[in-house]
């Protein structure tokens, strides 16, 4: 229907075309690659409308949400979206014309394109593709200041959430929009950090902000809490995040605290263990992907030893240091042979506690 309507020479129904594109991307888990050259420009045109009426604002929000719904399910040529999405985001940063959901969705759409580029690039590495990746890195972090914006948005939305509301109360009532948007920020950050390569001090403020969200959510908002721990886990293995950022931001203390809960929750505890394995691998210097990273590691050996000692002291205080170390060989073997992770029934690993 989208292709047929788009190919009409006369009496093309633009409103129907927009509705069809939105419905398709909301409902389809894996979109047709051939559809992107049609649907993406159509939705970006709607999202670029700067009128301030309530009706237009809703249309813009729906278009951007549909674009973010594409997620990581397909590579889109930069010429089809980059200039337009940058203009939408920058205009909002200057004029605050978008809703919070629309703004987050715009950045998430851009970050998911970064994922596409790297996944494809892991199999077909060439200079042209790497140049595209570097351009997106520069745009997302240094031009659009994603880390700084994510921190600001998260902290603003934290003021709008009733953190004392219990799970059973949420089930009986309507979902608060701020909760939905808030949980999307750590998820988007996780996607970006998985492939970002360059060191940047702004990641410290981003991690610190997510840690504050985690602390607020840990009692009554377990979905948000889980998303935060997942983001910490990816950050621990990210080239762009310094290991000392994990200490300074409070991420390590937060995850240790989570593992001390009287009632363990499998998925959160599982991610907590994986986080500490990644941290430990980084400090031991056995997680290098290339010679350049190893050389940088050796140059900062003195600083690394100080950081390692601080982290081990924290882990020893809580009684986890020996347990984490004992997983190294087993975990490495599982990853090499089966590309697996820890069992979801992570309580089975606590036999030594």
pLDDT of residue 124: 44
> 326 versus 65: which is more confidently predicted?
65
Please name the residue ranges forming H helices in 196-345: 202-217, 222-236, 243-248, 251-259, 266-284, 291-299, 301-318, 321-326, 328-338
> 303 versus 58: which is more confidently predicted?
58
pLDDT of residue 282: 76
Tokens, residue 123 = 């199999």
Structure confidence at residue 338 as a pLDDT band (50, 70, 90) = very low
pLDDT of residue 123: 41
According to CATH, what is the number of the domain 1-144?
1.25.10
- Choose the weakest-confidence range: 9-13, 64-68, 257-261, 323-327: 323-327
Mean pLDDT comparison of 51-65, 73-87, 182-196, 231-245, highest-scoring range: 51-65
CA dihedral of residues 169, 170, 171, 175 (deg, nearest 10): 150
pTM (whole model) above 0.85: no
In percent, the amount of the chain with pLDDT more than 70 equals 71
In percent, the amount of the chain with pLDDT more than 90 equals 38
Average pLDDT rounded to a whole number, residues 10-26: 93
pLDDT of residue 53: 93
């Amino acid at each position: 229907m989208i292709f047929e309507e788009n190919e009409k020479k006369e009496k093309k129904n633009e409103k129907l075309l927009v509705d069809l594109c939105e419905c398709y991307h909301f409902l389809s888990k894996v979109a047709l690659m051939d559809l992107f050259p049609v649907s993406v420009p159509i939705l970006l045109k709607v999202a670029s409308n700067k009128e301030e009426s309530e009706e237009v604002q809703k249309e813009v929000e729906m278009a951007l949400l549909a674009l973010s719904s594409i997620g990581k399910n397909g590579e889109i040529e930069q010429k089809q979206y980059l200039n337009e999405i940058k203009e939408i985001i920058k205009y909002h940063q200057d004029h605050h014309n978008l809703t919070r959901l629309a703004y987050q969705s715009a950045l998430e759409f851009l970050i998911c394109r970064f994922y596409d580029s790297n996944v494809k690039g892991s199999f077909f590495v060439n200079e042209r593709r790497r140049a595209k990746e570097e351009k997106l890195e520069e745009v997302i972090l240094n031009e659009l200041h994603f880390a700084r914006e994510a921190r600001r948005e998260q902290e603003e939305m934290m003021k709008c959430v009733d953190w004392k509301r219990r799970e059973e109360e949420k089930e009986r009532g309507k979902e608060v929009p701020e909760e939905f948007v808030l949980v999307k920020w750590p998820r988007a950050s996780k996607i970006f950090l998985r492939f970002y390569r360059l060191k940047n001090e702004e990641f410290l403020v981003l991690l610190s902000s997510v840690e504050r969200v985690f602390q607020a959510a840990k009692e009554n908002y377990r979905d948000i809490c889980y998303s935060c721990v997942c983001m910490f886990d990816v950050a621990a293995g990210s080239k762009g995040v310094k290991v000392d950022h994990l200490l300074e931001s409070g991420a390590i203390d937060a995850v240790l605290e989570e593992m001390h809960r009287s009632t363990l929750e499998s998925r959160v505890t599982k991610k907590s263990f994986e986080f500490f394995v990644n941290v430990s691998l980084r400090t031991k210097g056995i997680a290098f992907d290339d010679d350049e990273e190893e050389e940088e590691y050796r140059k900062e050996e003195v600083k690394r030893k100080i950081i390692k000692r601080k982290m081990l002291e924290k882990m020893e205080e809580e009684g986890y240091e020996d347990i984490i170390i004992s997983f190294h060989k087993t975990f490495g073997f599982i990853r090499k042979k089966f590309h697996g992770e820890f069992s979801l029934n992570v309580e089975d690993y606590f036999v030594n506690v």
